[in-house]
Structure 1
Amino acid sequence: MKVWSGLLLLCLLSVCRAAPLTCDQLLTNEYHVQDLSGRWYLHAMSIDSCVISNLMYTFIKPSVAMDISLKETPKQCEMKATFKFLSFCMNETETYLYEEGSLTRHNQNVKLLASSSTDSFVMKADSAVNAMYLLSRKTAIDAADLRQFETLATCVSVPRPQQLGSDYDFDTCKDIEQTEPSEAELTIMKERAETLVAELAKCFWNWIQSYTG
């Protein structure tokens, strides 16, 4: 009896851990399309374009929510994304054809991958720019989901993921087309723009070095 009690205690202390998923398992662990409907929050992303990633992380730094709805005839998935940039919000809607485990739109294919918890999943987009996105139904991402997402990024050789904003108060948003930024917001935008220019210069220099060896 003492032996079994000891083994149980060891398991509770996380000594008996499941082996981590391999890259093959992570890349074939599909998320079920029928579970997509509802609101999701975009917590982290990885993009293999230095220019786009710096624009997102350095200047825009958005908080993003996505409202997803499915239609059976034809099989369409409508994604309405709400972006919050400082105190401004904007919306963008895109429609994809869906099948089990993937979405397609024009020449873009988006693979849906399961994460470590049932209330999160990963979108892996293969196009001119490869990108991955970690979404959750919760406004705060679980550490285990983030770690698995980082592992997945390593598996497909994309840059280390970075987390996005978490200000999901969209009710007080200002219309970016009708409202001028405040003095404080203009100052923030100027500072971010200066940093962005410096980071883009690094991107350009690294691109030159990659071709000159």
Structure 2
Amino acid sequence: MKAFCVAVFVLNFISVCQPASVACERYLKTAASDQDLTGKWYVIAMSSNSCWATAFSVLPFSTSVDFAAMEKANIYEATFSVKMFGQCKNLTSKLHYGNSTVTEIDRTGAKSDNVMVLLQRRCHDCIVIKSDGFTDILVLLSKRTSITADEMEAFEIQADCRYLYKPQIFGSDHDYENCTVDDGKTEYASSEIPHMQQAVLNIFSQVFTCVQDRVLYYPRAAFQWVQTTWSNLW
């Protein structure tokens, strides 16, 4: 009898510490059909299974990507714009998009091994992309520079269902015209130095918080479950 009670406790604890599989089904599905990628998309938030990847997203930078369809079917030119500490940088790459997957194309025209998959999203003008590998990443993009609280909550659930850390929100300063072009030689303005120093501190602080949350997640969940179960007995 005692062994049976222990088994019931363990099974209940495991179930309470994991996202409900039924509730997560719709958040884990691949996009049912391809959508029109052309135009500018703003990177809203990112989640990852790596504390370091998540921490770097707290840097005060904004980024967007502009997709332009090429003559060849399913081939796009993607121009990424990044702004941080008053400087901007553009990066361009070619991508293949089809069957809800995005793959980078190298200079020889060959597809890379890194395949990104579009998932079903909760807002009509959003894209949710996942990349699985050594580091799992989940990114939310939108045609708008910001999204609603409900849409952000849906993305947080989507990340949690994939056992990723809480998403970090990117900057919303997308004025890429009025900033210094980062050519690798331009020095940052002295006024930006304190902000850069604080950003480094924020990274390490975020890593510490991230690790702490993951270490304490299961003991905290167990305590809450025991507390609730005990209350329901009376």
TM-score tier by shorter-chain length is 0.7 to 0.9
Could you tell me which residue of structure 2 aligns to residue 8 of structure 1? none
Report how far residue 169 of structure 1 moved.
1.0
Separation in 1, partners of 2:24, 2:69: 29
**Is the CA contact 2:165–2:210 (under 8 Å) kept in the aligned structure 1?**
no
Relative to structure 1, the CA distance from residue 152 to residue 197 in structure 2 (aligned partners, 3 Å threshold; closer, same or farther) is closer
Identity of aligned residues (%): 28
Where 1:168 maps in the other structure, the secondary structure is coil
Deviation at 1:103, TM superposition (A): 1.1
Q: Determine which of 111, 115, 132 is the counterpart of 1:126.
A: 132
1:199, distance to aligned residue in structure 2 (A):
5.2
SS of 2:187's partner is coil
d(CA) in 2 for partners of 1:78, 1:127: 24
Counterpart of 2:122 in structure 1 is 116
Name the count of aligned residue pairs. Answer: 185
Gaps of 5+ in 2: 1-21, 105-111, 215-234
- 2:190 aligned partner: 183
SS of the equivalent of 1:81 reads strand
Look up the match of 1:73: 72
Q: What are the residue-to-residue correspondences of 1:4-153 with 2, within 5 Å? A: 22-30=23-31, 32-57=33-58, 60-71=59-70, 73-105=72-104, 106-153=112-159
Cα distance, 1:204 vs structure 2:
8.9
Q: Name the CA distance, whole Å, in 1 between partners of 2:75 and 2:163.
A: 30
Name the SS for the 2:158 alignment partner: helix
**Cα displacement (A) at 1:31:** 6.0
TM-score scaled by structure 1? 0.76
Aligned partners of 1:31 and 1:112 also within 8 Å: no
Question: For the Cα contact (< 8 Å) 2:156–2:166, is it kept in 1?
Answer: yes
Deviation (angstroms), 1:76: 1.7
User: Quick check: 1:193 aligned with 2:200?
Assistant: yes
Aligned-pair CA distance for 1:26: 2.1
